[in-house]
Amino acid sequence: MAILADENTRVIVQGITGREAATFTKDMLDYGTNVVAGVTPGKHGQQVHGIPVYDTVRQAVKENPADAAVISVPPALVKGAVLEALNNSIKLLVVVSERVPRKDTIEFLEVAREKNARIIGPNTLGLISPHRLKLGMAGGPVDDVKKAYMPGPVGIASRSGGMTTEIANLLTTSGIGQSTCVGVGGDPVVGSNFLDLIPLYDKDPETKAVVIFCEPGGVIEEKLAESIINENIALPIIAFIAGRFVDTMPGVRFGHAATIVEGDKGTTKGKIAIFKKAGIRVAENFSDIIPLVKEML
C-alpha cells in the first residue's frame, strides 16, 4: 500500500485554469491520477483536458466527491483556497504555490490540525506513488516519471522536489523501486515534514526502508532523530545531507527559504552527529545511497 494517497484517491485541482496547473493536470491524468474536477472562480462551465471546472470547491465536490486537492493559486490566495478545501471535507491538500506568507501558512495549518487533515507544502512539487498516482508537479512530464520511478520497497522524503526525482532515478537505475515519494516543501513552515512522514512509512507494510534528503537549516532532522530514539522506530533510514559548506557561512541563506543556519542551530555537522546516534545511516556521497539501501534491505 502507499502512504497518503493511492490509485483510488479522487482529486480536485484548485487554480486548474492557470498555465502551470493546466500543465501538471494533464501530466497527472496521463499518469493515471483520478482527477475529477477543477476549481477557478468565474470559470464555471469550462473544461481543462476534459475535466469540468467549477467556481467553488463546494460545487465541485457536490457533483464530484473528492479526497484530495492540489492547490496552485497566487500566494495571496492560498490561505483562502486551503480553508475552502478544508471546510468542504478535503483531507489531503498538496500546496504547490510558492512565496506563501508564513503567517497564512501557520493559520491554515492550525485549521488543518483541527479538522484532522494533512497538508503537503507549501512550495512542494508534490508526491508520487509509482504506477498508482502523482499529485502536483513531482517528476515532471509523465514520460520522465515513468523512466525515473518504479514500484518497490523504498520510500523517499525530501526537502527538495527536484532531488526527490534524482533519488528515485538513482534507485531505479539500480533496480530498486519506490513506495511513496514526497517532496515536503522548501519553506521554513510546511504541513508535513520528516517527523510527520516517517511514522506513516513505518506503519506501511510495503515500505522496507526510507531515504531522506536533508538540507542545512531548521531542527526537524534533530527532532526526527530524537523521536526515533524515544519511540524505538525500527524502520531503516538512510539520509543524505546536502550543503555542508553552509556550516561555515552562518546567517546566509542558500536556495530554499528554510536553508539558513543560525549559530549552532541547523548545521549539517549537528544533523549528522545526531543521525548517527539514532542509528540513521548517513551517505557521505550521493552515490553512497545505493550500497546503504542495499545493505539495509
Q: Indicate which residues carry an active-site annotation.
A: 256
C-alpha cell at 246: 553552509
Cα separation, 16 vs 138, whole angstroms: 16
Grid coordinates given for 162: 527536484
Quote the CA–CA distance of 107 and 95 in Å, as a whole number. 14
Q: Which residue has the cell 494517497?
A: 5
Integer CA distances (angstroms), 215 to 143, 179, 259, in order: 28, 23, 6
Give me the DSSP letters along 171-235: HHHTT--EEEEEE--SSSS-SS-HHHHHHHHHH-TT--EEEEEE-SSSSHHHHHHHHHHHHT--S
Q: Grid coordinates in use for 241?
A: 545531507
Calpha distance 34→105 (Å, rounded): 27
- What does the alpha-carbon distance between residue 108 and residue 111 come to, in Å, rounded to a whole number? 5
Helix spans in the chain (H): 19-31, 57-63, 75-86, 102-114, 142-148, 161-173, 194-203, 220-231, 268-278, 289-296
